[in-house]
Amino acid sequence: MKVVIKKRADKEYMLKKERELKEKYGSIDSLGQKASIEKCSFPALIDDYELWKAIEKGCEIEEEIIFQDSSIFRTLSPSRIEMLDFMSKNSVASIKELAHAVKRDYKNVYFDITALKKQELVELIKKGRENIPVSRIEKIAILFD
Amino acid sequence: MYRLRKKRIYIRKNEIIDSLEIYEGEKRRFYSYTYMVKGKKGWVPSVRWDNFQQQPHIDRYDESGALLEQKNSPEKELEAVEHLVKIFRRNLVAMSLEDF
């Protein structure tokens, strides 16, 4: 069996990714030079360079996380799935606001967000003093093959 | 039209394949498949196949993520890499993979 989690990559996500790359490397040319020189020691540079080139050309992004067994369901409890469902349809300004919206205790929601972030199912975007929880998940599928 | 396909495949809890493929139309222009093992400081590359600058090759890394060797290798598909990793897992690093 396989559990396939498909993530959404909209224009906002692409802009965010481009901003992150710019902050990290300055320009695409300097990253290109760095990747050519240090490609053996830091292979992630190559991926970042190719990713940036593709984003500049206006590519479409398909992103998936695939689990070969059902272990992800230790993380994906019913209440966490409901939270992901809520976040996929609504945006919240903070974890506190999310807790209020799903009518759950802040401490438990914070704990759940931390667990989901560990599996890269949720991202926390820092804005001022707040950490904004964002989920890009659009589909979770179980495949029996 | 460019299309980027990014996948993270969990082989086990502490072993993954990170895949990045870039297509121009139907043609795959770039690929990288990195088999990584979780160490004390996070994910460490163990074996990597990519075709950066149109040179398909395979890189092998030690436990700290330092490059051990780089060899030419035929173009690879994700399915083939996934199959190899599932069979040999951590033993891959000690194997001669350029002919696979």
Tell me, yes or no, if B8 comes closer than 8 A to chain A by beta carbon.
yes
Residue A112 in tokens: 């759940």
Subunit contact A120:B59, Cβ cutoff 8 A: no
Provide the pairing of β-strand A137-143 with A2-7. antiparallel
Q: Which residues face A143 on adjacent strands?
A: A2
For domain A67-143, give the CATH number.
1.10.10.10
Label residue A51 left, alpha or beta by phi (over 0 means left) and psi (-120 to 50 means alpha).
alpha
Tell me how far apart the alpha carbons of residues A74 and B20 are, in angstroms, rounded to a whole number: 27
pLDDT in tens, B1-39: 889 999 999 998 889 999 999 999 999 999 999 999 998
Of A40, A50, A68, the CB nearest to B20: A50
Mean pLDDT of A41-66: 91
Domain residue spans of chain A: 10-61, 67-143
Pair A87, A50: CB distance under 8 Å: no
Give the tens place of pLDDT for each residue, A102-123: 999 999 999 999 999 998 899 9
CB A66 within 8 Å of CB B14: no
